[in-house]
Amino acid sequence: MPLPALSPDTTDFLAEKHLMLIDGKWVPAASGKTIDIVNPATEEVIGTVPAGDAADIDKAVAAARKAFDTGPWPKMPPSERARLLWKLADLLEQNAQQITEVEILDNGMPLNHAGRMAVPLAANMCRYYAGWPTKILGDTIPVDPPMPGVEVLTYTRKEPVGVVGQITPWNYPLGMVAMKLGPALATGCTVVLKPAEQAPLTALIVAELVQEAGIPDGVVNVVTGYGETAGAALTAHPDVDKVAFTGSTDVGRIILRAAAGNLKKVSLELGGKSPFIIFPDADLERAIPGAAFSAFFLQGQNCMCGSRLFVHKQIFDKVVEGVAGFAKMMKIGPGLDPETNIGPLISSEQLSRVSGFLAAGPKEGATLVAGGKRVDRKGYFVEPTVFANTNREMKVVREEIFGPVTCAQMFDTDDLDAVAKLANDTAFGLVGSIWTKNLAIAHKLAARIKAGTMGINTHGMADINAPFGGYKQSGWGREFGKESLDLYLETKTVVQHM
Ligand code: NAP
Ligand code: MG
């Protein structure tokens, strides 16, 4: 069957020469260099974006600095900032078809995920943050007077931290941009955003909509470019007050070092290697598809990927067979095909990385139960893969693969401390899940696992209203929810001797 035709808006967008937004103007990189954008389902170049570097970051930071220090944005009435964020959400929805199609072509994600999860969630995030500017409150604090007879008024003000550098990954491009811009704009910060070079196109559409919404020039600047040049310049820049990063743990460490120069604030959302734990009494009609979906969603290029599957001995074979059954049934193909469950990996580099893990599993003694190889067609497709008989020593169990691979391990104990020990045997701590009908066990175990989000009979159900982030090497700080605002606010204490 031929793929559905692209909308005229998408065709027009793809035909444009893409530029970056700095200080309200669309500009090429100062160097004139560009980066090819590849459709991972076809391996075809579908456009180029400017290869911004330190020179462009300098200009963008200067624009954001000016917009913060002397522009209207931080002083704007909160209800007006709220209105503009709400408008941005409306514009995302009005352009949903184009944005969804561009996201699929750029990133490869299947339509049945992109349709539900790209624009609807990004718009929802903007609306969530539109609710905040009017509710950012300080406290009045009763303090002890320095001497008898003196009266003191002490209160706190929550002030925007300033110019924020934001760096996003390619796995969920539009959502990442929305979840970064939302709290920064709600609090009155100004932004220089560097999207991942592998999938930067929807960030550029968002930049157009930011302008159309009427958000003042210089408040949001988008510089496309490589992490090693543009990203590094942004994180080291002395005029940037805060960096918010989502990406790999290794790059997170580099960013931390770069930020040390002016001790800018840093928040990090990093990798994961999440435990998915199934007890014998679990409802397997839900747990088995849940395990398959958690591992293979977005081709496993998902920080919440349920990549360590711990199954009780009594049901181990049944679960592994069931998850493997889903893996074999899933339809692999281009994201634009509405029937596709598994799209391509993002790039040829990611394909070789994941292929390395697919080869390492059996070499280290894991049993291949489903998948295990590249799909013989154009595009960066690999089969959803299930390994059984895995253990803590194996590379496939220790490292984040960021591909559609799950590693099943058997457990044979009712001791919750022992189960928690297995789950916690990782450098990461982003999410985890427990599948059982016994809620006492579920809540006791949820308290013992070191992860930012624990699911009970669900996995990775992240929602913008609730905090999200990592323990251990999965990150610093919490995005989403009220806590995300703290990442973008300074607290000032004002004391008056009355
Ligand atoms: P990545 O390689 O760490 O890249 C993330 C971003 O950092 C990209 O924009 C990248 O630029 C940039 N970057 C690379 N080197 C840099 C440097 N030296 N200085 C500043 N910026 C630099 O990660 P990825 O491969 O795009 O994404 C996958 C990773 O993200 C996985 O580990 C995954 O778990 C993590 N992730 C975490 C969450 C979460 O919420 N915790 C969510 C999604 C993904 P380029 O454009 O050059 O790539
Ligand atoms: Mg990268």
Domains delineated in the chain: 8-270+475-494 (3.40.605.10), 275-463 (3.40.309.10)
Distance CA 489, CA 242 (A): 10
Neighbouring C-alpha atoms within 13 Å toward the C-beta of 158: 19
Closest-CA residue, ligand 1 atom 15, reads 227
User: In a structure prediction context, what are the per-residue pLDDT tens digits for the chain, which is 498 residues long?
Assistant: 788 999 999 999 999 999 999 999 999 999 999 999 999 999 999 999 999 999 999 999 999 999 999 999 999 999 999 999 999 999 999 999 999 999 999 999 999 999 999 999 999 999 999 999 999 999 999 999 999 999 999 999 999 999 999 999 999 999 999 999 999 999 999 999 999 999 999 999 999 999 999 999 999 999 999 999 999 999 999 999 999 999 999 999 999 999 999 999 999 999 999 999 999 999 999 999 999 999 999 999 999 999 999 999 999 999 999 999 999 999 999 999 999 999 999 999 999 999 999 999 999 999 999 999 999 999 999 999 999 999 999 999 999 999 999 999 999 999 999 999 999 999 999 999 999 999 999 999 999 999 999 999 999 999 999 999 999 999 999 999 999 999 999 999 999 999
Token pair for 174 = 């539009």
Q: Identify any residues that bridge with 431 across adjacent strands, giving them in sequence order.
A: 453
- Backbone φ and ψ of 153, nearest 5°: -110, 120
- What is each CA distance from 70 to 157, 218, 264, 371, in whole angstroms? 20, 11, 21, 57
Q: Which mutation among 34, 248, 267, 474 tests ligand 1's pocket best, with the greatest number of atoms within 8 A of CB?
A: 248
pLDDT of residue 1: 73
pLDDT of residue 271: 97
Rg of the chain, C-alpha, whole Å: 24
CB atoms within 10 A of CB 143: 11
Point out the ligand 1 atom lying closest to the alpha carbon of residue 169.
26
Q: 254 CB under 6 A from ligand 1?
A: yes
Q: Which ligand is nearest to the CA of 251?
A: 1
Name the 3-class secondary structure at 390.
coil
- In 3D space, the residue among 191, 162, 187 whose CA is nearest the CA of residue 78 turns out to be 187
Q: 196 CB under 6 A from ligand 1?
A: yes
Token pair for 42 = 């076809």
CB atoms within 10 A of CB 362: 13
Cα angle vertex 463, ends 460, 469, to 5°? 65
CA of 403 from ligand 2 middle (Å) equals 14
Q: Which ligand is nearest to the CA of 250?
A: 1
- Backbone φ and ψ of 158, nearest 5°: -100, 115
Q: Do the Cβ atoms of 35 and 197 come closer than 8 Å? A: yes
Task: Look up residue 334 and give its amino acid.
Answer: P
Q: Do the Cβ atoms of 470 and 462 come closer than 8 Å? A: no
Q: Identify any residues that bridge with 246 across adjacent strands, giving them in sequence order.
A: 269
CA of 189 from ligand 2 middle (Å) equals 26
Closest-CA residue, ligand 1 atom 11, reads 227
Q: What share of the chain is helix, strand, coil (3-state, %, to 5)?
A: 40, 20, 40
- In 3D space, the residue among 398, 460, 463 whose CA is nearest the CA of residue 428 turns out to be 398
Q: 456 CB under 6 A from ligand 1?
A: no
Q: Which mutation among 35, 57, 121, 167 tests ligand 1's pocket best, with the greatest number of atoms within 8 A of CB?
A: 167
How many Å separate Cα 76 from the centre of its chain? 29
- In 3D space, the residue among 131, 130, 133, 137 whose CA is nearest the CA of residue 76 turns out to be 133
- In 3D space, the residue among 251, 266, 250, 297 whose CA is nearest the CA of residue 469 turns out to be 266
Q: 235 CB under 6 A from ligand 1?
A: yes
Q: 269 CB under 6 A from ligand 1?
A: yes
Distance CA 183, CA 202 (A): 19
Global pTM exceeds 0.85: yes
Q: Do the Cβ atoms of 464 and 478 come closer than 8 Å? A: no
Q: Which ligand is nearest to the CA of 194?
A: 1
Kindly report the length of the chain. Answer: 498
Which residues are identified as catalytic? 269, 303
Point out the ligand 1 atom lying closest to the alpha carbon of residue 249.
32
CA end-to-end span of the chain? 78
- What is each CA distance from 462 to 100, 139, 390, 480, in whole angstroms? 21, 30, 28, 9
Q: 28 CB under 6 A from ligand 1?
A: no
Point out the ligand 1 atom lying closest to the alpha carbon of residue 305.
34
CA of 226 from ligand 2 middle (Å) equals 8
Q: 232 CB under 6 A from ligand 1?
A: yes
Q: 170 CB under 6 A from ligand 1?
A: yes
Distance CA 313, CA 280 (A): 8
Q: Do the Cβ atoms of 397 and 389 come closer than 8 Å? A: no
Q: Which ligand is nearest to the CA of 470?
A: 1
Report DSSP state, residue 227. Answer: I
pLDDT of residue 230: 98
Q: Exposed, middle or buried by CB within 10 Å (0-12, 13-18, 19+), for 399?
A: middle
